[in-house]
Each structure stands twice: as structure tokens, then as C-alpha cells.
Amino acid sequence: MTATVIHVGGKAPELHAFAGFLDGQSAVVRRAALGMDETYAAPCLLLSLPEQADLRWAMADIRRVPDQAGRDTMVLMLRDDAVRRLVVRDDAVRKILTARCPNLKRRPRAANRAKLLGWSPRWR
């Protein structure tokens, strides 16, 4: 199922904001400039990071990480990437992403369920 975005009354407001980005390799939170690209068939969230190539996260692949933040923070990940995170604290940006990401509430996939069961003390 694909979502169609219809802008009534002219061009939609552009997204210019910042969020914390965790690359999953280091414990450093990097400041990422956020933008949106809705010109392609699959709309994307653009992440511009210092000293790194820009990242494109397809809106349909963005998931909210459950139980990771309070009400004033939203933690996001990609559907098939269990380690990279985007931490959004700006209320207006959270509202925009909630409206534009069609699968935000879908549960992320477990990376390797067999490995998770192996770590569980119940299954040893």
C-alpha cells in the first residue's frame, strides 16, 4: 500500500530542523540537519551529517522504537537497520514525521531471533 501526499493551497512547508543521530558504531551523538524530499515515488527524510555523505531514509521504512523515550522525544530507526537511530526532540518535527511516515507504528523486525533466543536464560 502506498500513500499519496496531496498538498492543497500551494507548496507544502519545507522541513528544516535538527535531530540527534547515532550511527550504531560509536557512542557519539551527531547533529543531523533534517530535510524532506517528496519529489520521487518514495518520499525520503534527508539526513545531512558533518563530514559524511547525506543519508536518505524512505518514509515508508521509518519505524518508531517503542519504549525508548519520554513523551517529549521520539526515537526512530529504519525497518531493516537495528543499530542506527534518530532522536527527535522538536515537537513540530515529531508531528510532521508522525503525519508523513505511514508505517511509523509498525514494530521493527528482530534482527536475528535465533541469536536473541540463544541469549535468553530460559532457553539455555
* 79-115 residue pLDDT tens: 988 889 999 999 999 999 999 999 999 876 665 555 5
pLDDT band at 7 (very low <50, low <70, confident <90, very high): low
Domains and CATH numbers, the chain: 17-123 (2.30.29)
Residue 35, CA distances (Å) to 40, 49, 57, 77, 107 in order: 14, 12, 11, 16, 24
Distance between CA 63 and CA 81 in Å, rounded?
Answer: 10
Whether the pLDDT of residue 9 is over 60: the answer is no
